[in-house]
Amino acid sequence: MPSLSTFDPGAIDTLDLTDPRTHAEYDLTGVWQRLRHEQPFHRHRPVGDAEGFWVVSRHADVSELYRDRRLTSEKGNVLSALLLGGDSAAGMMAAVTDGPRHADLRKLLLKAFSPRVLTGVVANIEAATRKLVQETAERGECDFAKDVAAHIPLNAICDLMNVPEEDRPLVLEYTEAALGSDGAVQSPAVAWQARNDILAYFETLAAERRRNPGTDAISVLATGTLEGRPLTMDEIVVNCYSLILGGDETSRLSMTGAVGAFIEHPDQFAALQSGRVEISTAVEEVLRWTTPAIHFGRSALEDIPVGDRGQVIRAGDTVTLWNSSANMDETVFAEPGRFDLTRTPNKHIAFGYGPHFCVGAYLGRAEIAAMLTALRDLVASVEPNGEPRRVYSNLLVGMSSLPVAMTPR
């Protein structure tokens, strides 16, 4: 697995959580432990022209603030938007909308994500994943991130949205460029262009679905109403954008991270193969262990006293909630640094928490379950077969490349 440098917990004042290199190149375990124990509400230093921001690291505090109505998502829900002064999709995209309007948008989106509606999509995921893993194992070697994990969630969300097969490689290219990079430096212009390309693509599809609606998620948005009126084209495309990014990247990184964990913890792969481990329980530990979306952010609407040291989050302050730390909190998870597929209970917050809990959680779990089931049934061994590469992002963590050798079972 990629070797990481250890960030000195004593140098927290030099920490830059806005820098993708911090998350791609450093092991922050010690940093998060110190923050949870000593500075659970840490004031991050200003970076560049942006103001400083709050870093919340304990599971209990993160969970509580996810539900706190004194915080809003409408100025952005990730560092990249918050530090630039806001998100242009606020009030239109469910992820950056609050209150009754958010509830109505979420209700509309859930029409496309209910377990009943997803029955056929999940069946396709299971069959396609089994076939893909079987073919890959028989071939003997692959880049698991690119040859397996990249296809499962993308095809699932594209099935849900009825994206034509011939367009899917392009959609994958856009999503990778929009959120992360294989390299330490990515031009903001590249990410900006990719996001605009995604929006333009979905505008074309949405216009077609308005004329000829089906039962897919784009048709649900294109024919739905919000506050008694049809959604505008802008509202449709930004929610399509949110679905494709959220539905592709996080599941892909979780799946790749699971295989990386099996290589580092062969006893857990043996436990999976033996059938002693419930797939549903294993899915939850994979999600906790990988936590691909490492933070979400909010803005304070009013002053909020926090902690037991007289600290106050001031109205207008940016607050970041670190899932990656909360999911390693020793007060919630016994031996959190141990990868344990039998862990239960497992109260991770890999999908967030509260009103903005991920609408695609059921689908994401189904995708990981299909992959774990296929590995259990069809693969005898997995070994490293080259140097992995990590994603460079301050929102996502994981591997963009994981060369492995596999033998069929």
Rounded to an integer, the average pLDDT of 4-26 is 94
pLDDT the model gives residue 184: 52
pLDDT the model gives residue 204: 93
First to last CA, the chain: 24
State yes or no: pLDDT of 357 exceeds 90: yes
| CATH assignment at residue 309 | 1.10.630.10
Closest by Cα among 181, 221, 1 to 80:
181
Higher pLDDT, 184 or 165: 165
The model's pLDDT over 94-145, given as tens digits with 9 standing for 90+, comes to 999 999 999 999 999 998 888 888 999 999 999 999 999 999 999 999 999 9
Rounded Cα–Cα distance for residues 216 and 113 (Å): 10
The model's pLDDT over 76-98, given as tens digits with 9 standing for 90+, comes to 999 989 988 888 889 999 999 99
Rounded Cα–Cα distance for residues 214 and 373 (Å): 31
Q: How far is CA 329 from the centre of its chain?
A: 19
Predicted confidence band at 192 (pLDDT cuts at 50, 70, 90)?
Answer: confident
Q: Of how many residues is the chain composed? A: 409
Higher pLDDT, 191 or 258: 258
Domain that holds residue 212: 5-408
Predicted confidence band at 371 (pLDDT cuts at 50, 70, 90)?
Answer: very high
pLDDT the model gives residue 203: 94
Rounded Cα–Cα distance for residues 281 and 27 (Å): 26
Give pTM, 2 decimals.
0.94
- The four Cα atoms 63, 292, 174, 119 give a dihedral, to 10 degrees, of -80
pLDDT the model gives residue 1: 58
| Average pLDDT along the chain | 93
Contacts (Cβ under 8 Å, ≥6 apart) of 228: none
* Number of domain units in the chain: 1
